[in-house]
Amino acid sequence: MNKNELNLDKVYIDYIKKRLDGMGYHFISLIIDKMVSFIECSFVDIQIILNSKSINDEKITKDFIDMLRVMERKFLHMLQVIDIAINLSEVNHYESYRQIANILVATFHDFGRILEIHKVGTKMGSNKVNHTTLGLSYLFDDSMERERIKEYLSEELYLIYRDLIYTGIEYHGTKDVPYGILSPLATSVVKDIRDADKLAVMSSFVDPNTDMDTVFHMPFEELAQIPIHDVTLKEIMSHKQIDRSNKDVPYDKMRQFISHIGFIYDINSPLLYDYLYLTHWVERYIGHVRNYLRDENQDKMYEIEAECLDFLRKKQSHNINAGKLGYKVFQKK
Ligand SMILES: [Fe+2]
């Protein structure tokens, strides 16, 4: 693999496209092709800009390579979310219309991330813009009497799914969703995209292909030495998500590590509880640090593990198909 080149996961792209084609959704495969072209063109844009600056600057070159790797990861994440969105649709026996809604929203949900990277890469975006806002304004801004989302959809798909895609992107990652103002269909689509997104991220944390150094920028041996704050322990034991905005507690790597466990308290579909419990997600995730924990952390982590497992166990729906929810892992190492 050339480190200066963009390497999108061709094997996974083909797998997802074949799955979609097999379901009769070839038109969604074509959207994925368009996105690949978009990313490849963005990559060329960035290269041209960097070359024009005649850089021998090591820092810029390093930033560029880092950005490429992020772009590849974000695209892989998109494929994983599509994969899970298809699984959720199948396990729930959705009819075609509902399946397509899930898959289209999954396909576009993080489009803003790709734009964000492009902006940072070309040094155009000095101010950090929220990726959701960026994606929405790019795809749905009709100030030029056209919306770019139309470039990806046929007229028919546009008319049927435009609003659902918009709503799905808008609320896929917000803290609070105003479910009261959404239609039952939009509510269900938003819940599914939030679950698929979360499950993709959580699964990536226990996926042997994931380079965890790029997640924490710190070896687990070191992370395990950071004391677990009492507030963090209290939050997780009382089934609350870690409050990142709480300035009284330092948001250190240990708090960040535990915040991922707190994702289990923001799940919509009972199927996910089954899946996480059956695949031993909590045990595997805590397994990253288990053998390195300093003494005073050991009891606290044990408490967290026991509480979370108990929570998942009690929430289970015992759906025999829940085990099919995860994304496909192609072992690379
Ligand atoms: Fe996402």
For the chain, 333 residues long, give each residue's pLDDT as a single digit of tens: 566 788 899 999 999 999 999 999 999 999 999 999 988 888 887 777 777 665 566 667 777 777 788 888 889 999 999 999 999 999 999 999 999 999 999 999 998 888 877 766 555 444 566 888 888 888 888 666 678 888 889 999 999 999 999 999 999 988 889 999 999 999 999 999 999 999 999 999 999 998 888 789 999 999 999 999 999 999 999 999 999 889 889 999 999 999 999 999 999 999 999 999 999 999 999 999 999 999 999 999 999 999 999 999 999 999 989 999 999 998 775
Are 241 and 262 in contact by the 8 Å Cβ rule? The answer is: yes
- Distance from the CA of 33 to the center of ligand 1, in angstroms? 19
- Distance from the CA of 173 to the center of ligand 1, in angstroms? 8
- Distance from the CA of 163 to the center of ligand 1, in angstroms? 19
Q: Where are the domains of the chain?
A: 10-197, 213-315
- Distance from the CA of 14 to the center of ligand 1, in angstroms? 20
- Distance from the CA of 56 to the center of ligand 1, in angstroms? 34
pTM, two decimals, is 0.92
- Distance from the CA of 57 to the center of ligand 1, in angstroms? 32
